[in-house]
């Protein structure tokens, strides 16, 4: 194939770069910041997209964050690309603290006791839920009885508390991101417009000077 890698990336390297991208997370953050600054929409619209993206990272809809962020940005009339970039607020370095804070808040709001060891079993419960879905799908295909106990446990212990508890910290984090991003993007766009204006003025001045020089040369030849 034309676009196939000649040197296939090893599995362990691919897994490592998922948790630590090439160049580090600082470089990835600079890339996201650069892309956000260059979006053509007004600062408010871009910031609303960022709000939607950051808020989405506090929801338990893993693997669907792009879709949820795009939907929220569409409803809020925010920039959809900014929303997709905003979901990078959630990454392998931040997902565990985000999940723990959301679950703690959810358990508190629901009046349940939060286990201090929940972070050790969180990934396992997501895996169990996925296996439960797969197993029951094949049970449905084969026409044998289905057992949804694993998903019931996942819903009660993880998904529902996470969904309820992520609302408050999600709103706080997204609002802070909006408050920081909007003036920065506005200042960057103003500075960029000023630079472009100066460049255009320099081009026009240069063209006018060339035109004046050509007219002077033509006048001298006429004399």
Cα separation, 127 vs 123, in Å, equals 6
What is the per-residue pLDDT for 63?
A: 84
pLDDT at 110 over 80: yes
What is the per-residue pLDDT for 71?
A: 96
User: Mean per-residue pLDDT for 103-127?
Assistant: 74
pLDDT at 129 over 90: no
User: Mean per-residue pLDDT for 49-69?
Assistant: 93
Chain-centroid distance, C-alpha 157: 26
Q: Indicate yes or no: pTM above 0.85.
A: no
What is the per-residue pLDDT for 12?
A: 46
Cα separation, 145 vs 44, in Å, equals 53
Q: Which has more confidence, 211 or 170?
A: 170
Model confidence at 162, pLDDT cuts 50, 70, 90, reads: very high
Residues with Cβ < 8 Å from 194, sequence gap 6 or more? none
Q: How many CA atoms lie within 13 A of 129 on its CB side?
A: 18
Mean pLDDT of the chain: 78
Q: What's the chain's Rg over C-alpha atoms? A: 27
In the DSSP assignment, the letter for residue 78 is -
Model confidence at 169, pLDDT cuts 50, 70, 90, reads: very high
Q: How many CA atoms lie within 13 A of 218 on its CB side?
A: 6
- Which of 29, 71, 32, 69 is closest to 51 using CA atoms? 69
Model confidence at 108, pLDDT cuts 50, 70, 90, reads: very high
Cβ proximity of 52 and 73 under 8 Å: yes
| Tokens 């939607």, residue located | 52
């Amino acid at each position: 194939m034309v676009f196939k890698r000649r040197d296939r990336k090893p599995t362990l390297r691919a897994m490592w770069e998922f948790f630590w991208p090439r160049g580090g997370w600082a470089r990835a953050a600079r890339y996201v910041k650069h892309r956000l600054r260059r979006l053509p929409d007004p600062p408010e619209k871009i910031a609303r997209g960022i709000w939607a993206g950051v808020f989405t990272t506090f929801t338990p809809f893993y693997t669907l964050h792009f879709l949820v962020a795009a939907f929220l940005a569409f409803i809020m009339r925010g920039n959809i690309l900014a929303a997709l970039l905003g979901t990078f607020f959630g990454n392998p370095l931040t997902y565990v603290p985000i999940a723990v804070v959301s679950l703690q808040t959810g358990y508190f709001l629901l009046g349940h006791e939060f286990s201090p060891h929940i972070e050790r079993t969180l990934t396992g419960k997501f895996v169990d839920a996925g296996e439960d879905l797969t197993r029951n799908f094949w049970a449905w295909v084969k026409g044998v009885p289905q057992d949804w106990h694993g998903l019931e446990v996942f819903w009660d212990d993880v998904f529902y508390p996470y969904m309820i508890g992520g609302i408050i910290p999600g709103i706080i984090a997204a609002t802070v991101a909006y408050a920081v991003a909007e003036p920065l993007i506005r200042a960057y766009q103003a500075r960029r417009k000023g630079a472009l204006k100066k460049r255009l003025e320099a081009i026009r001045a240069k063209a006018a000077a060339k035109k004046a020089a050509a007219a002077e040369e033509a006048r001298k030849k006429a004399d």
